[in-house]
């Protein structure tokens, strides 16, 4: 059978489309029929210059049509600082309550024309992490939890940060502080259980790393509430998984506890299910109370008693950041926040 060789002509590669040029404020000005200065005033929300609403609308429509976005670095050079608020990612597991607080805070800062950036500094801690944050040149840094020291605050301020705010149990020299006294949460839970006639009280201490700054004070708060009474306090390390809860529940009768403060609602729900599977009746054999007042606790049977925690509003913290940015030489403010009150339900 004869073979015929056929040469297939090489298809020329399609020419790549020429890259579109990046739109500039001059392009926006031409399309809107205004000056570049007007474009700058409108897009930077400058309040010192009065510009009519129709003109503002034309500028915004032109910028949207062209896909123009102001250059953040250039805007920072003109202003002398950025509008970026850096929030390092927490080094501890966050629950629904804290997540809602962060969401509210981001919205409040956005309304004040700040850009919130969450930064994950995995493997970096304390002052070493502060140097990594400083590289981004934020105008303010909100530090959750603990670990930042005075040297880290100095590094951030020297890099141009006008405000450093810590949100946690400790104050740091040179930084504004929202001080959260978590011992009040444990104190409320311990006092409630004692008033309900419970005398052999366990306190769950999460095994997960990063929660020590919260669990330690809550345990101390229970102990403080029961000082001078006939009640005993038993520390109960517990990992957040079903097998760990089942192992603890299997020892419950040996522990001889008639109540437990389970650190928060999530640990309380985990432990309560394990106790019920083990045949321990709640609240007849053991009263259970959590903290955070999550909606799921109200859906359980028996409904979960809890400590309602009042966090500062996102708006209040955003206003603190804004005050500090406007007046970086002002003395650091310290606000003691985090109210705690018991919500008594069926489980206790």
Residue 2 has pLDDT above 50, yes or no: no
337 DSSP 8-state letter: E
Q: What is the pLDDT of residues 176-228, one digit of tens each?
A: 888 888 999 999 999 999 999 999 999 999 998 878 888 999 999 999 999 99
Q: What is the pLDDT of residues 219-235, one digit of tens each?
A: 999 999 999 999 999 99
**Average pLDDT over every residue of 49-76:** 80
323, two tokens: 């005050």
Residue 263 has pLDDT above 90, yes or no: yes
HSE-CB of 113 using CA atoms within 13 angstroms? 9
Spatial CB neighbours of 54, under 8 Å, sequence gap ≥ 6: none
Q: By CB neighbour count within 10 A (0-12 exposed, 13-18 middle, 19+ buried), where does 151 fall?
A: middle
Q: Which of 176, 126, 117 is nearest to 337 (CA)?
A: 176
Residue 160 has pLDDT above 60, yes or no: yes
Residue 3 has pLDDT above 60, yes or no: no
Q: How many residues does the chain have?
A: 348
Q: What is the pLDDT of residue 107?
A: 87
> Taking a C-beta distance cutoff of 8 angstroms, is the pair 32, 58 a contact?
yes
Residue 284 has pLDDT above 70, yes or no: yes
Distance CA 205, CA 192 (A): 19
> Where is average pLDDT lowest: 18-32, 77-91, 320-334?
77-91
Q: What is the pLDDT of residue 218?
A: 95
331, two tokens: 């003395």
Sheet holding 287-289, edge to edge: 232-238, 200-206, 259-261, 287-289
């Amino acid at each position: 059978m004869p073979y015929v060789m056929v040469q297939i002509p090489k298809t020329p590669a399609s020419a790549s489309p020429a890259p579109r040029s990046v739109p500039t404020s001059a392009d926006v000005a031409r399309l809107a029929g205004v000056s570049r200065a007007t474009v700058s005033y409108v897009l930077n929300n400058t309040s010192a210059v009065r510009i009519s609403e129709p003109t503002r609308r034309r500028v915004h429509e032109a910028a949207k049509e062209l896909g123009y976005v102001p250059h953040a670095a250039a805007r920072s050079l003109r202003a002398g600082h950025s509008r970026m608020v850096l929030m390092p990612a927490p080094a501890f597991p966050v629950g629904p309550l804290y997540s809602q607080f962060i969401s509210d805070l981001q919205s409040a800062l956005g309304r004040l024309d700040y850009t919130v950036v969450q930064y994950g500094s995995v493997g970096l801690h304390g002052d070493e992490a502060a140097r990594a944050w400083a590289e981004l040149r934020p105008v303010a840094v909100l530090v959750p939890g603990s670990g930042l020291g005075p040297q880290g605050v100095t590094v951030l301020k020297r890099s141009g940060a006008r405000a450093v705010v810590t949100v946690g149990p400790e104050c740091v020299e040179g930084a504004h502080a929202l001080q959260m006294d978590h011992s009040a949460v444990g104190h409320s839970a311990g006092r409630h259980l004692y008033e309900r006639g419970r005398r052999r009280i366990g306190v769950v201490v999460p095994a997960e790393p990063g929660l020590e700054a919260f669990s330690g004070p809550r345990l101390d708060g229970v102990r403080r509430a029961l000082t001078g009474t006939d009640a005993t306090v038993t520390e109960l390390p517990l990992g957040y998984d079903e097998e760990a809860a089942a192992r603890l529940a299997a020892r419950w009768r040996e522990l001889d506890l008639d109540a437990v403060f389970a650190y928060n609602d999530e640990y309380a729900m985990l432990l309560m299910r394990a106790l019920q599977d083990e045949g321990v009746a709640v609240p007849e054999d053991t009263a259970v109370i959590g903290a955070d007042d999550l909606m799921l606790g109200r859906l359980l049977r028996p409904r979960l008693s809890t400590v309602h925690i009042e966090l500062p509003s996102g708006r209040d913290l955003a206003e603190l950041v804004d005050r500090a940015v406007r007046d970086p030489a002002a003395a650091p403010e310290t606000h003691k926040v985090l109210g705690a009150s018991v919500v008594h339900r069926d489980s206790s």
